[in-house]
Amino acid sequence: MTLLEVNNLTVRFYTAEGVVTAVDDLSFTIDRGEKFGIVGESGAGKSVSALSVLRLIENPGRIESGEILLDGENLLEMSDKEIRKVRGNRVSMIFQDAQTALNPVYTVGEQISEPIRHHLDYSESEAKERAIELLDTVGIPDPQTRYSDYPHEFSGGMQQRAVIAMALSCDPDLLIADEPTTALDVMTEAKILNELDRLAEEFDTAVQLITHDLGVIAEVCDHVMVMYAGQPVETASVDDLFYDPKHPYTVGLMASIPRIGAGDTRLQTIPGVMPDLIDVPTGCTFHPRCPYAEDVCTQKEPGLVDPATGTEVGADADRGASCLAYTGDLANDLTFDVTVGDAGQSVGGESDD
């Protein structure tokens, strides 16, 4: 059952340098209890798309078109008062940098219990009790004492857990996790991902996980959308994406994952950088970096199509890729292949044979 439906969302920032189209005609759906991943390089529009769901885009940014339906209600048409009831209650967010997300002058406990009092009408003592329970759930040792600590008294991992506790405080229907583990060491990252997974199962919460780490996606998500330059370039289930990627950008991302023992002397990269979103390349935005690009790629922008049939697909499609190879516009075929290692470890690679 669909919980969140984003249709044709376009977000622009009006700057002195020019107009930045951070999210361009983006559509996707998230079902109840689904773990949906959004992956891409920095500047792909992942965070802006997440912030748009909560209408947290600040000036000079504007949500210019589209609709965001939560259980059928359009969040973009709600009044400020109505959207405040949704934030932190039905939809909550784990922000990218926990240290910045926490207010340094309030105790951690107070920051967790505030939304409980505000949204669930708990009394002060009940909210405190619930906050201590949540701190315990996310693995903060001695939560009774830690409740009164200020954020600077917490380590980075503990701050991240506190932000997760805050996000889970009102049992949200949708939890948006914007790179929740980027600033953390791998041990803490693993613990937090496990907790996220376990808590999502426990509370039957849908998770929208934003990351640039494909390993995290493989670990946590059911369905994935790959974004590039503000647009979706591929959408698929996790298995399909890893075993049968369809877009050259996805293949490039997977080939860039360092593999211990692979014997490579250099790290694989995708040549070039993400384009400036004020001045995106004509045609397919990925063409300047694509090893399979032909002249037509500079003149025609591909839509999201079913790679098997080449027909345009909608927001709720199981499989879609935006490459002219699937609409019959390219003279040559995409020649990458994916091999899976003996130990069950996937080894994505591309070849120009």
Partner 1 sequence: MRRIYESDALERDNEDTFTPNERDREHKPQLFRSLNASAWSDRLLHHGVRCRAVSVRIETPRTEFEQGEVIPFRVWMKNSLPIPVTIRTRSPVLWSWFVDDYEEASKVSLREPPEEPAKIRFDRGQRVRFEKRWNQMFRIDEDEWRPAQPGEYTLRAAINVDSKKERNLSDETTIRIV
Contact footprint for partner 1 (CB under 8 A): 12, 14, 16-19, 21, 60, 62, 64, 105-107, 110, 279, 281-283, 298-303
Among candidate residues 30, 24, 43, the one with its CA nearest the CA of residue 2: 30
Compute the C-alpha angle 165/168/173, nearest 5°: 165
Closest approach of partner 1 to the CB of residue 309, in Å = 19
Is residue 225 within 8 Å of 38, Cβ to Cβ?
Answer: yes
Closest approach of partner 1 to the CB of residue 79, in Å = 19
Measured from the CB atom, the residue of 105 and 186 that comes closer to partner 1 is 105
Closest approach of partner 1 to the CB of residue 286, in Å = 14
Closest approach of partner 1 to the CB of residue 135, in Å = 17
Closest approach of partner 1 to the CB of residue 64, in Å = 7
Closest approach of partner 1 to the CB of residue 41, in Å = 22
Closest approach of partner 1 to the CB of residue 16, in Å = 6
The dihedrals phi and psi of 113, each to the nearest 5 degrees, come to -80, -20
Label residue 351 exposed, middle or buried (CB < 10 Å: 0-12, 13-18, 19+): exposed
Measured from the CB atom, the residue of 242 and 286 that comes closer to partner 1 is 286
Measured from the CB atom, the residue of 53 and 324 that comes closer to partner 1 is 324
Measured from the CB atom, the residue of 191 and 300 that comes closer to partner 1 is 300
Among candidate residues 163, 175, 178, 120, the one with its CA nearest the CA of residue 4: 175
Measured from the CB atom, the residue of 87 and 287 that comes closer to partner 1 is 287
User: Which residues, in sequence order, are CB contacts of 179 under 8 Å at separation 6+?
Assistant: 47, 96, 210, 211, 212
Closest approach of partner 1 to the CB of residue 123, in Å = 15
Measured from the CB atom, the residue of 215 and 314 that comes closer to partner 1 is 314
186-203 vs 156-168: helix crossing angle, rounded to 10: 10
177: amino acid identity, one letter: A
Measured from the CB atom, the residue of 25 and 41 that comes closer to partner 1 is 25
Gap between the Cα atoms of 325 and 200, Å rounded? 38
DSSP character string of 74-112: EGGGS-HHHHHHHBTTTEEEE-S-HHHHS-TTS-HHHHH
Pairing of strands 346-349, 337-340: antiparallel
Measured from the CB atom, the residue of 24 and 178 that comes closer to partner 1 is 24
- Beta strand spans in 98-218 (E): 174-178, 206-211
SS (H, E, C) 324-348: HHHCCCCCCCCCCEEEECCCCCEEE
What are 310's two structure tokens? 């080449």
